[in-house]
Amino acid sequence: MASTAETRSSATDRFLTGVERVGNKLPDPFMLFLILFSITAVLTTAMAWANVTVQIPGAEEVTAIKGLFTAEGLTWLTQNLGANYLGFPPLATVLPILLAVGVAEKSGLLAALIRKAFGSAPRWALPYAVGAVGVTGSIMSDAAFVVIPPLAALVFKAAGRHPVAGLLGGFAAAGAGYSTNILVTSLDALFAGITTAVTETLPNAGAPVTPVSNYYFNVVSSIVLMLIAGFIIDKVLEPRLSRQGVPVDEVHDDDADHPGTVAGGTPVATPGVKSAGASRPAALKSELEPDEARGLKWALIVGAAVAVVIVLAVVVPGSPWRNEEGGFLPRSPLLSSIVFIVFTLFTVPGLVYGKVVGTITTGRDVPRVMGEAIKDMAGFLVLAFILGQFIALFNWSGIGQWIAVAGAGGLQAIGLTGYPAILAFILLASLLNLFIISGSAMWTLMAAVFVPLFVLLGYEPAFIQAAFRVGDSATQVITPLNPYMIVLLTMLRKYEPQAGLGTLMARMLPFVVPFWLAWVAILSVFFVLDLPLGPGNGIFIGG
- Domain-located, residue 259: yes
* C-alpha 201, offset from chain centre: 33
Please report, in tens digits, the pLDDT of each residue of the chain (543 residues total): 444 444 455 777 777 788 777 777 777 778 888 998 999 999 999 999 999 998 876 667 888 999 999 999 999 999 999 999 988 777 877 788 888 888 888 888 887 887 776 666 688 889 999 999 889 888 777 778 888 898 899 889 878 889 999 999 999 999 988 889 888 777 887 788 888 878 876 777 788 888 888 999 999 999 999 999 999 999 999 998 888 877 776 544 443 333 333 223 333 333 333 333 333 334 445 578 889 999 999 999 999 999 999 999 888 888 888 887 777 765 678 877 888 888 899 899 999 999 999 999 888 888 888 888 787 777 778 888 988 898 889 889 988 778 777 776 776 677 766 788 899 899 989 988 888 777 777 887 788 778 887 887 889 999 999 999 999 888 889 888 888 888 899 889 888 888 888 899 889 999 999 999 999 999 999 999 999 999 888 999 876
**pLDDT of 118:** 67
Contact 192, 330 (CB under 8 A): yes
Element (H, E) at 64: strand 63-64
Instruction: Please compute, for residue 64, the number of CA atoms within 13 A of its CA located in the half-sphere on the CB side.
Output: 11
Work out how many domains the chain is built from and give that number.
1
The C-alpha atoms of residue 74 and residue 272 are separated, in whole angstroms, by: 56
**pLDDT of 166:** 94
Contact 281, 274 (CB under 8 A): yes
- Domain-located, residue 430: yes
**pLDDT of 80:** 95
**pLDDT of 423:** 92
- Domain-located, residue 39: yes
**pLDDT of 120:** 65
- The distance in angstroms from the start CA to the end CA of the chain is 47
Contact 520, 423 (CB under 8 A): yes
- Domain-located, residue 453: yes
Domain span at 106:
19-286+384-529
- Domain-located, residue 504: yes
**pLDDT of 261:** 33
- Domain-located, residue 52: yes
- Domain-located, residue 225: yes
**pLDDT of 481:** 80
Contact 356, 301 (CB under 8 A): no
Inter-axis angle of helices 109-118 and 338-357, nearest 10: 90
pTM of model > 0.95: no
Contact 437, 400 (CB under 8 A): no
- Domain-located, residue 150: yes
The C-alpha atoms of residue 117 and residue 16 are separated, in whole angstroms, by: 34
**pLDDT of 128:** 94
